Structure 1
């Protein structure tokens, strides 16, 4: 019995030694990671001040500016993946909040908001926003998370056991596309006023649930820079009313579509291209640049913008 315990102890000790050794990042990975962090966009991200990982608070500035040591590479990849997930979660919450705000305006009877209700029956336009703008940006951002995660020798994305870990944020991004399956139900006709309210209710509840789940996940791992949660909505409503005051009548949902499109374009530029991520239009996957590739931000954005699905004109 004693010899068996001794054998098991030696075996476990050997396993731990080999396991630790396996977690040392190869030089090529470290070089690729440090090269990625040279892209200027990393220093311009300003939504997240710190993250919680391995029961420690890690500050973004240190993660980005500190050169990667070979035995800390794996931990740094994990931390940066969480940090990027926090940043992207904030983007999606911003977009979802806009749609929810608009739907709540349609539901209530506040006369002060009558000028924002002039198109609450536009179900087709709402579905177009989701299909042509919201779902594509969620797929693109999820691809960036996956590309960064794949630098690790044990990627979270490949193992179901990590569904309750920080990378859950990525899984929620995956769920965003599911809304289209519900909206493609043949019983929901956009030309049938009796089902329009049901369609809006499906979208409202779905986006509400995703926001709540994202807030739970980010609450566990992300420390955001304090800001007004409705700043985009307030800014856009003010701009819309300024246009209407000039006697230029514009349907509010069409105005929101333009603003959401511009916001997404800015996100792709500043939080994707300027971070060094690249999009392969053939495989429709995101990949990381090699250390030898020159940084050409304008060219990269042009390629992404051309390949990204174009919204339907409404």
Structure 2
């Protein structure tokens, strides 16, 4: 009888072990698959992040001894820091554009550079959406994802960037009235200076490999010396505009496509490629917490219009298409296919 009891106990232990290992292997496999994308190995501009009394690094190797939750939180924080630095580079370029656009000669030139700037800002708001929703999708793999903006205020800053174009819907510049353009430019300059300061103050927890933007400043100053006079000012503004567009497309390529994020047509948000059944098995929120995560809230109140989705998908394809052309690949964009899914 004793032998039978030991056998039963052994069998029961085996079943429990198998259940636990099966339950934990699925999310681990999801994360390992995500981290197998080439972009994670190239994400090397942040050394570590000091967050809530603990240092986090990027641990993407399958055999790493870092816990599953630690890997997710570290990856989210590191990606947030690199996004913040990307935004600081964009803000710097915007600063130069905002300084020289008002100096354009003639009403038409001031109007044109203002309208072009508004298109850049519209694209920046799309980039903020991609950044925010990518971070949310990654963080939501954690058993205790962030539940509000006080947990991770970078979400709040990205939310403000998402809403920027709406401020100018009723304030479009008038061709024959340069004062409307100048007022918009002045407002944008003050607004972005505030945003840049808030992001800098809020992310002092990030330790970067190189924490300066001197190379970009030198490059822009060299072009100012060549093209900032009255006759060539448009050349300089066109150069900065191209640099801004290239920077944003490059971010989408390297930190969206190359990291393995996707656009999910079901919830109309950026996501990681995880089958629904694995999400359910991995985290039953009704059992773990009655508090919705920020991503849950975002999905619940997602109000993207068809036009906004079209703009987002077009933007996601721009960087990929440009990269494919440079490598001699097909021009066919991949994300468009998801719209009809």
Per the TM superposition, whether the score is higher than 0.5 is yes
State the match for 2:131 in structure 1: 141
Deviations 1:48-106 (A, max 9, x none): 1111134122333xx2236366x921232122111111111111111112111332345
CA contact (8 A) 2:46 2:209 kept: yes
State the match for 2:55 in structure 1: 57
CA contact (8 A) 2:73 2:139 kept: yes
Unmatched 5+ residue regions in structure 1? 1-21, 109-113, 308-314
State the match for 2:140 in structure 1: 150
CA contact (8 A) 2:137 2:271 kept: yes
Which of 195, 204, 212 pairs up with 2:189?
204
State the match for 1:251 in structure 2: 235
Q: Tell me by how many angstroms 1:282 deviates.
A: 6.6
**Aligned counterparts of 2:238 and 2:129: Cα–Cα separation in 1:** 23
State the match for 1:111 in structure 2: none
SS in 2 for 1:279: strand
Structure 1 position 217 matched with structure 2 position 202: yes
**Aligned counterparts of 2:33 and 2:256: Cα–Cα separation in 1:** 15
**Aligned counterparts of 2:274 and 2:25: Cα–Cα separation in 1:** 13
Change in Cα spacing, 1:82 to 1:123, as seen in structure 2 (3 Å) is same
Which of 92, 97, 104 pairs up with 1:102?
97
Which of 154, 164, 167 pairs up with 2:150?
164
State the match for 1:269 in structure 2: 253
Change in Cα spacing, 1:82 to 1:174, as seen in structure 2 (3 Å) is same
Structure 1 position 67 matched with structure 2 position 63: yes
Deviations 1:247-289 (A, max 9, x none): 9985322222222111112111112111111123575421213
Deviations 1:100-129 (A, max 9, x none): 133234579xxxxx99xx955522111111
Alignment: residue pair count: 261
State the match for 1:90 in structure 2: 85
State the match for 2:213 in structure 1: 229
Deviations 1:199-252 (A, max 9, x none): 111111111111111111210x2111224324224324536766899x998532
**Aligned counterparts of 1:218 and 1:248: Cα–Cα separation in 2:** 38
Structure 1 position 280 matched with structure 2 position 264: yes
**Aligned counterparts of 2:262 and 2:164: Cα–Cα separation in 1:** 27
Change in Cα spacing, 1:274 to 1:184, as seen in structure 2 (3 Å) is same
What is the root-mean-square deviation in Å for CA atoms of aligned residues? Answer: 3.6
State the match for 1:30 in structure 2: 28
State the match for 1:15 in structure 2: none
Structure 1 position 125 matched with structure 2 position 116: yes
CA contact (8 A) 2:101 2:114 kept: no
**Aligned counterparts of 1:140 and 1:189: Cα–Cα separation in 2:** 28
Q: Tell me by how many angstroms 1:195 deviates.
A: 2.1
State the match for 1:8 in structure 2: none
Deviations 1:113-158 (A, max 9, x none): x99xx95552211111111x211111112121111011112321xx
Structure 1 position 176 matched with structure 2 position 161: yes
Q: Tell me by how many angstroms 1:196 deviates.
A: 1.8
SS in 2 for 1:272: helix
